[in-house]
Amino acid sequence: MEINIKKHLLHFKKPSGTSRGILYDKPSWILSVNLPNGKNAQGECSVIPRLSPDFTNEQRYEAQLSKLKHQFSSWKMDDFMDENVFHGDKWQQFLADWIVFPSIVFGMESLARDIQNQGSGILFDSAFSRKEQSIPINGLIWMGDESFMLDQIEEKLADGYSTIKMKVGAIEWMKERTLLEQLRRRFSGKELTLRVDANGAYTPESIIPILTQLSELDVHSIEQPIQPGQLNAMSELCKYSPIGIALDEEMIGIHEREQKEALLKMIAPQYIVLKPSLHGGFHGCSEWIKFAEQQNISWWMTSALESSIGLNAIAQFTATFSDLLPQGLGTGGLYTNNFDSSLVVSKGQLRMK
C-alpha cells in the first residue's frame, strides 16, 4: 500500500492572534491512498509551529513522514478491511512506535478509518455521521484589539451561539473585563455561557484577583490560566478557584498512560481540553477521557487549526461520546484555501451536510 503525502499551507483570511503570536498561515500534511473504487482515503497531520510537541522544523517533520510512508508500504489494503484492525498487535505496535508524534498518529488513524470505509469520509458510525444529531459548539472570539473582539462577539451572538469562548491575555485585562461585562449585562448566565481561554497568560499571583472578577461575571471556566509546568501552583488554583479551571497546554507532551493518570490526580482540574493533533490522536484522547471520567473531570474537544479534513475526523470522533458539553469545533472557515467541508454550523450546532 502506498501512502501519498503532500504539504498544504493553509492561509488565514485574517491574521489570527494565538498564544504563539499572530498567525498568517499554518502547515498541514495530507495523507492519502488511492482506493480500488476510484476514491481517495484521506487523513491530516496538522501542526502548530512552536506548540506541537512533535514539530521542530519542516525538514525533520517530513523525514518522519518519509519513515511513516516506508513503514506502511508493507501493509495491504485487506489489513484495513479487518474490523478488528485497531485492536490487533500490528496497529498497537504502530501506536507504540509513534506515541511521541501525536499529529502523525491522528493523521494515520483518520486515514486508516477512511480506507476501511472505502473513502466515504465517514470514519465513525454515529447519529451525527448519519445526519440525525448535531454537536453543540462554542463561538470562539479570537485575540485582538478591543474593537476587533467586540465585532466578533456581535457576529457570534447574531449567529445564535449560546456559549461563547473569549481569548484573554492579549490586551489589558480591564478592557477584556469590560467586554465580558457588556455581555453579562445583556445576557444572564442562564441565557449565555461564557468561557475564557488564557493560554497561560498569567502568573499564579496575578490570576487570583482575575478569577474572583470572572466569578462575579458568572464565567463558566478558564482554560490554562498559567504557564504549564507549574504543577503545584495549578493544583492550588484548581482547589480554591471560584470558577472551573480547564487544563490544555498542561497536557501537551504527556504521552504515557501512567503519566496522564498521575497528572490528573495531582492537579485535579474541573475540566480538560482535548486536541487530537496535540494529545495523541483518537487513541490518546480516549485515554485522557477515561482517566478524567474516573475522577469526575469533565472535558470538551477542540480543533488545533486543522483543515476541514481534520475537523471532519475530530467531529465524528467527538460524536461517539454522549452528553456532550459545547465543543470547540467548527468548519474551517478561517482559511482562504481550505478543502470542501462536510460540516455546517447553524445556531451554535455543528452538523453533517
Active-site positions read 167, 275
Is residue 17 classed as helix, strand or coil in its secondary structure? Answer: strand
DSSP string, 76-131: -HHHHHSTTGGGSHHHHHHHHHTTT-HHHHHHHHHHHHHHHTTT-S--S-STTTTT
What does the alpha-carbon distance between residue 176 and residue 141 come to, in Å, rounded to a whole number? Answer: 11
DSSP 251: G
Chain Cα centroid distance, residue 116: 24
Residue 194: its H or E element: strand 193-197
The set of residues, in sequence order, having a beta carbon less than 8 Å from that of 317 and lying 6+ positions away, is: 123, 124, 276, 282, 285, 301
* Residue type at position 229: G
3-state class (DSSP) for residue 41: strand
Alpha carbons 244 and 273: distance in angstroms, whole number: 12
